[in-house]
Protein backbone atom coordinates (compact mmCIF):
# COMPACT_ATOMS: atom_id res chain seq x y z
CA UNK A 1 0.00 0.00 0.00
CA UNK A 2 2.84 2.34 0.80
CA UNK A 3 4.52 1.73 -2.55
CA UNK A 4 1.27 2.29 -4.48
CA UNK A 5 0.70 5.62 -2.72
CA UNK A 6 4.17 6.76 -3.72
CA UNK A 7 3.55 5.95 -7.40
CA UNK A 8 0.15 7.76 -7.57
CA UNK A 9 1.26 11.04 -6.01
CA UNK A 10 1.37 14.09 -8.29
CA UNK A 11 3.32 17.25 -7.71
CA UNK A 12 1.73 20.60 -8.79
CA UNK A 13 4.26 23.12 -10.13
CA UNK A 14 4.80 26.32 -8.25
CA UNK A 15 3.78 29.36 -10.43
CA UNK A 16 5.04 32.73 -9.42
CA UNK A 17 3.79 35.82 -11.33
CA UNK A 18 6.56 38.30 -12.02
CA UNK A 19 6.44 41.54 -13.98
CA UNK A 20 8.84 41.70 -16.90
CA UNK A 21 11.24 44.61 -16.89
CA UNK A 22 9.59 46.55 -14.14
CA UNK A 23 6.45 48.72 -14.37
CA UNK A 24 4.35 49.39 -17.51
CA UNK A 25 4.67 52.88 -18.96
CA UNK A 26 1.06 54.11 -19.20
CA UNK A 27 1.82 57.73 -20.10
CA UNK A 28 4.10 57.00 -23.05
CA UNK A 29 3.40 53.45 -24.16
CA UNK A 30 5.55 51.82 -26.75
CA UNK A 31 4.17 51.63 -30.29
CA UNK A 32 2.82 48.19 -31.21
CA UNK A 33 4.28 46.22 -34.06
CA UNK A 34 2.89 46.53 -37.60
CA UNK A 35 0.30 43.72 -37.57
CA UNK A 36 -1.17 44.80 -34.26
CA UNK A 37 -1.30 48.44 -35.38
CA UNK A 38 -3.07 47.35 -38.59
CA UNK A 39 -5.69 45.43 -36.59
CA UNK A 40 -6.26 48.43 -34.32
CA UNK A 41 -6.72 50.76 -37.29
CA UNK A 42 -9.22 48.41 -38.94
CA UNK A 43 -11.33 47.92 -35.82
CA UNK A 44 -11.30 51.60 -34.85
CA UNK A 45 -14.90 52.95 -34.69
CA UNK A 46 -15.84 55.72 -37.11
CA UNK A 47 -17.90 58.57 -35.67
CA UNK A 48 -19.69 61.27 -37.65
CA UNK A 49 -18.98 64.96 -37.35
CA UNK A 50 -20.14 66.61 -34.12
CA UNK A 51 -23.53 68.30 -34.12
CA UNK A 52 -22.10 71.75 -33.47
CA UNK A 53 -20.16 71.48 -36.74
CA UNK A 54 -23.26 70.56 -38.84
CA UNK A 55 -25.44 73.22 -40.54
CA UNK A 56 -28.95 73.92 -39.31
CA UNK A 57 -30.81 72.37 -42.25
CA UNK A 58 -29.07 69.04 -41.66
CA UNK A 59 -30.08 69.03 -38.00
CA UNK A 60 -33.68 69.97 -38.91
CA UNK A 61 -34.26 67.36 -41.63
CA UNK A 62 -31.91 64.79 -40.16
CA UNK A 63 -30.08 64.51 -43.44
CA UNK A 64 -31.32 63.02 -46.67
CA UNK A 65 -33.96 60.32 -46.34
CA UNK A 66 -33.00 57.20 -48.15
CA UNK A 67 -35.76 55.37 -49.97
CA UNK A 68 -35.97 51.67 -49.62
CA UNK A 69 -35.36 49.83 -52.86
CA UNK A 70 -38.57 48.45 -54.36
CA UNK A 71 -38.59 44.68 -54.59
CA UNK A 72 -40.45 43.10 -57.47
CA UNK A 73 -42.87 40.65 -55.88
CA UNK A 74 -44.63 38.31 -58.36
CA UNK A 75 -47.42 37.60 -55.88
CA UNK A 76 -48.25 41.31 -55.67
CA UNK A 77 -48.48 41.48 -59.47
CA UNK A 78 -50.93 38.56 -59.43
CA UNK A 79 -53.07 40.31 -56.80
CA UNK A 80 -52.95 43.58 -58.79
CA UNK A 81 -54.12 41.75 -61.93
CA UNK A 82 -56.95 40.16 -59.96
CA UNK A 83 -57.95 43.54 -58.51
CA UNK A 84 -58.03 45.13 -61.99
CA UNK A 85 -60.24 42.29 -63.25
CA UNK A 86 -62.70 43.02 -60.44
CA UNK A 87 -62.73 46.70 -61.40
CA UNK A 88 -63.37 45.90 -65.07
CA UNK A 89 -66.10 43.32 -64.51
CA UNK A 90 -68.03 45.17 -61.77
CA UNK A 91 -70.30 48.09 -62.63
CA UNK A 92 -70.45 49.16 -58.97
CA UNK A 93 -67.31 49.50 -56.82
CA UNK A 94 -67.68 50.82 -53.24
CA UNK A 95 -64.67 51.71 -51.06
CA UNK A 96 -65.11 51.18 -47.31
CA UNK A 97 -63.29 52.56 -44.29
CA UNK A 98 -62.94 49.78 -41.73
CA UNK A 99 -62.82 50.46 -38.01
CA UNK A 100 -61.91 47.84 -35.43
CA UNK A 101 -64.09 44.78 -36.11
CA UNK A 102 -63.69 41.12 -35.30
CA UNK A 103 -64.02 38.34 -37.83
CA UNK A 104 -66.99 36.99 -35.89
CA UNK A 105 -68.91 40.20 -36.68
CA UNK A 106 -67.54 40.52 -40.21
CA UNK A 107 -68.32 36.99 -41.43
CA UNK A 108 -72.16 37.43 -41.51
CA UNK A 109 -71.74 40.64 -43.51
CA UNK A 110 -69.47 38.85 -45.99
CA UNK A 111 -71.99 36.01 -46.35
CA UNK A 112 -74.97 38.37 -46.81
CA UNK A 113 -73.15 40.36 -49.50
CA UNK A 114 -72.12 37.19 -51.34
CA UNK A 115 -75.71 35.92 -51.19
CA UNK A 116 -76.84 39.09 -53.00
CA UNK A 117 -74.16 38.75 -55.71
CA UNK A 118 -71.72 41.20 -54.08
CA UNK A 119 -68.13 40.39 -53.15
CA UNK A 120 -66.12 41.90 -50.27
CA UNK A 121 -62.37 42.07 -50.88
CA UNK A 122 -59.44 43.62 -48.99
CA UNK A 123 -56.46 45.13 -50.84
CA UNK A 124 -53.55 47.30 -49.79
CA UNK A 125 -52.53 50.68 -51.14
CA UNK A 126 -49.59 49.33 -53.12
CA UNK A 127 -51.65 46.64 -54.87
CA UNK A 128 -54.45 49.08 -55.78
CA UNK A 129 -51.87 51.55 -57.07
CA UNK A 130 -50.30 48.86 -59.25
CA UNK A 131 -53.73 47.77 -60.52
CA UNK A 132 -55.22 51.20 -61.32
CA UNK A 133 -52.12 53.06 -62.50
CA UNK A 134 -52.69 54.40 -66.01
CA UNK A 135 -56.38 53.33 -66.06
CA UNK A 136 -59.64 55.26 -65.66
CA UNK A 137 -59.82 54.09 -62.03
CA UNK A 138 -56.66 55.94 -60.95
CA UNK A 139 -58.66 58.51 -58.92
CA UNK A 140 -59.45 55.79 -56.36
CA UNK A 141 -55.84 55.83 -55.09
CA UNK A 142 -56.54 58.97 -53.04
CA UNK A 143 -58.99 56.98 -50.89
CA UNK A 144 -56.40 54.40 -49.84
CA UNK A 145 -54.02 54.86 -46.92
CA UNK A 146 -53.48 51.27 -45.85
CA UNK A 147 -55.44 48.03 -46.24
CA UNK A 148 -59.09 48.81 -46.95
CA UNK A 149 -62.15 46.83 -48.01
CA UNK A 150 -63.85 47.09 -51.39
CA UNK A 151 -67.30 45.83 -52.42
CA UNK A 152 -67.69 44.71 -56.03
CA UNK A 153 -71.19 44.25 -57.42
CA UNK A 154 -73.89 45.54 -59.75
CA UNK A 155 -75.83 48.85 -59.46
CA UNK A 156 -79.13 47.01 -58.86
CA UNK A 157 -77.82 45.80 -55.49
CA UNK A 158 -77.05 49.26 -54.05
CA UNK A 159 -80.16 49.40 -51.85
CA UNK A 160 -79.54 45.90 -50.45
CA UNK A 161 -75.90 46.82 -49.76
CA UNK A 162 -76.88 49.76 -47.54
CA UNK A 163 -79.41 47.58 -45.68
CA UNK A 164 -76.71 44.97 -45.00
CA UNK A 165 -74.11 47.54 -43.91
CA UNK A 166 -76.52 48.94 -41.32
CA UNK A 167 -75.84 45.80 -39.28
CA UNK A 168 -72.10 46.62 -39.16
CA UNK A 169 -71.47 50.29 -38.25
CA UNK A 170 -67.71 49.58 -38.31
CA UNK A 171 -67.85 49.49 -42.14
CA UNK A 172 -68.22 53.08 -43.36
CA UNK A 173 -68.88 53.91 -47.01
CA UNK A 174 -66.52 56.60 -48.32
CA UNK A 175 -67.11 56.69 -52.09
CA UNK A 176 -67.83 54.47 -55.04
CA UNK A 177 -67.76 54.06 -58.80
CA UNK A 178 -71.06 53.37 -60.57
CA UNK A 179 -70.87 52.80 -64.32
CA UNK A 180 -67.50 54.61 -64.65
CA UNK A 181 -68.65 57.59 -62.57
CA UNK A 182 -67.10 58.50 -59.22
CA UNK A 183 -69.76 59.19 -56.57
CA UNK A 184 -69.66 60.33 -52.96
CA UNK A 185 -71.58 58.62 -50.17
CA UNK A 186 -74.58 60.98 -50.45
CA UNK A 187 -74.77 60.40 -54.19
CA UNK A 188 -74.67 56.64 -53.64
CA UNK A 189 -77.53 56.90 -51.14
CA UNK A 190 -79.61 58.89 -53.64
CA UNK A 191 -78.74 56.38 -56.37
CA UNK A 192 -79.86 53.48 -54.18
CA UNK A 193 -83.29 55.10 -53.69
CA UNK A 194 -83.86 55.41 -57.42
CA UNK A 195 -85.99 52.71 -59.13
CA UNK A 196 -84.42 50.02 -61.25
CA UNK A 197 -83.90 50.36 -64.98
CA UNK A 198 -86.90 48.15 -65.84
CA UNK A 199 -89.21 50.20 -63.61
CA UNK A 200 -87.88 53.45 -65.11
CA UNK A 201 -88.48 52.10 -68.62
CA UNK A 202 -92.04 51.10 -67.75
CA UNK A 203 -92.68 54.54 -66.27
CA UNK A 204 -91.28 56.18 -69.41
CA UNK A 205 -93.49 54.00 -71.62
CA UNK A 206 -96.52 54.95 -69.49
CA UNK A 207 -95.69 58.66 -69.81
CA UNK A 208 -95.24 58.39 -73.58
CA UNK A 209 -98.45 56.39 -73.94
CA UNK A 210 -100.43 58.86 -71.81
CA UNK A 211 -99.03 61.76 -73.84
CA UNK A 212 -100.14 60.09 -77.07
CA UNK A 213 -103.60 59.35 -75.72
CA UNK A 214 -104.04 62.97 -74.56
CA UNK A 215 -103.01 64.22 -78.01
CA UNK A 216 -105.57 61.93 -79.66
CA UNK A 217 -108.27 63.12 -77.26
CA UNK A 218 -107.45 66.76 -77.94
CA UNK A 219 -107.54 66.20 -81.70
CA UNK A 220 -110.92 64.40 -81.52
CA UNK A 221 -112.45 66.84 -79.05
CA UNK A 222 -113.46 69.47 -81.65
CA UNK A 223 -115.02 66.83 -83.89
CA UNK A 224 -116.97 65.33 -81.01
CA UNK A 225 -118.17 68.77 -79.93
CA UNK A 226 -119.27 69.54 -83.52
CA UNK A 227 -121.16 66.25 -83.74
CA UNK A 228 -122.85 66.85 -80.39
CA UNK A 229 -123.87 70.39 -81.42
CA UNK A 230 -125.30 69.11 -84.70
CA UNK A 231 -127.29 66.45 -82.84
CA UNK A 232 -128.70 69.12 -80.53
CA UNK A 233 -129.58 71.31 -83.50
CA UNK A 234 -131.40 68.44 -85.21
CA UNK A 235 -133.34 67.74 -82.03
CA UNK A 236 -134.33 71.40 -81.70
CA UNK A 237 -135.39 71.60 -85.35
CA UNK A 238 -137.44 68.43 -85.17
CA UNK A 239 -139.19 69.18 -81.86
CA UNK A 240 -141.50 72.17 -82.99
CA UNK A 241 -142.91 70.23 -85.98
CA UNK A 242 -144.23 67.55 -83.67
CA UNK A 243 -145.82 70.00 -81.23
CA UNK A 244 -147.33 72.43 -83.84
CA UNK A 245 -150.85 70.76 -84.22
CA UNK A 246 -151.46 70.72 -80.50
CA UNK A 247 -150.74 74.40 -80.26
CA UNK A 248 -153.23 75.23 -83.10
CA UNK A 249 -156.01 73.25 -81.46
CA UNK A 250 -155.54 75.01 -78.19
CA UNK A 251 -155.77 78.42 -79.88
CA UNK A 252 -158.99 77.50 -81.72
CA UNK A 253 -160.66 76.30 -78.55
CA UNK A 254 -159.66 79.49 -76.81
CA UNK A 255 -161.29 81.62 -79.56
CA UNK A 256 -164.49 79.61 -79.49
CA UNK A 257 -164.90 80.05 -75.79
CA UNK A 258 -164.43 83.75 -76.12
Query: What are 162-201's pLDDT values in tens digits?
Result: 999 998 888 989 888 888 888 888 888 888 888 777 777 8
Residues 6+ apart with CB under 8 A from 251: none
- pLDDT computed for residue 195 by the predictor: 73
| Residue 64 burial (C-beta neighbours within 10 Å; 0-12, 13-18, 19+) | exposed
Residue pair 149/120 in contact (Cβ under 8 Å)? The answer is: yes
- For 110-145, the pLDDT digits (tens) are 999 999 889 999 998 889 998 988 888 888 888 888
Q: What pLDDT, on the 0 to 100 scale, is given for residue 258?
A: 47
Q: In sequence order, what are the beta bridge partners of 120?
A: 151
The pLDDT, as a whole number, for residue 6 is 58
Mean pLDDT in residue range 30-46: 90
The pTM of the full predicted model, rounded to 2 decimals, is 0.54
- Rounded-to-integer distance, Cα 29 and Cα 37, Å: 13
The string over 126-153, giving b where at least 16 C-beta atoms fall within 10 Å of a residue's C-beta and e elsewhere, is: bbbebbbeeeebeebeebbeeebbbbbb
The span from the CA of 194 to the CA of 183, in Å, is: 15
Regarding predicted confidence, which is higher, 101 or 195?
101
Q: What is the pLDDT of residue 15?
A: 74
Q: Encode pLDDT of 41-84 as tens digits.
A: 999 988 888 888 888 777 776 555 667 777 788 898 999 999 99
- Structure confidence by residue, pLDDT tens digits, 209-249: 887 778 877 888 888 888 888 888 788 888 755 444 544 54
Domain-wise residue ranges, the chain = 74-190
pLDDT attached to residue 8: 62
Across 50-118, the runs of DSSP E, i.e. the strands, are: 92-98
- Cα 46 to Cα 50, 55, 66, 146, 203: the distances in Å are 12, 20, 20, 39, 82
Q: Residue 172: which H helix or E strand, with range?
A: strand 171-178
- Alpha-carbon distances, residue 182 vs 92, 176, 217 (angstroms): 10, 6, 45
The predicted structure's pLDDT at residue 103: 87
Say what the pLDDT of residue 254 is: 47
What does the pLDDT look like over 83-97, one tens digit per residue? 999 999 988 999 998
Q: How far is CA 249 from CA 90, 238, 241, in A?
A: 94, 20, 14
Query: pLDDT category, 36, cuts 50, 70, 90?
Result: very high
- Angle among Cα 49, 65, 69 to the nearest 5 degrees reads 125
CATH says 74-190 is which class?
alpha beta
The pLDDT of residue 240 is 59
Measure the N-to-C terminal CA separation of the chain; round to a whole number of Å.
200
Amino acid sequence: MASSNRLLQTFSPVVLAKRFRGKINVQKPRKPHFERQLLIDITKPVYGPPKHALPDFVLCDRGEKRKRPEIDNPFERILARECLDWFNTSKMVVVLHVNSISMEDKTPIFAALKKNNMHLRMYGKKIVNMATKGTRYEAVNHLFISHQNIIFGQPESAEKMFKILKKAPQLIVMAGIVQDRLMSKNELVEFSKMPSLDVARSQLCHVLQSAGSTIVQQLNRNQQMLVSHLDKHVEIQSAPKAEAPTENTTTTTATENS
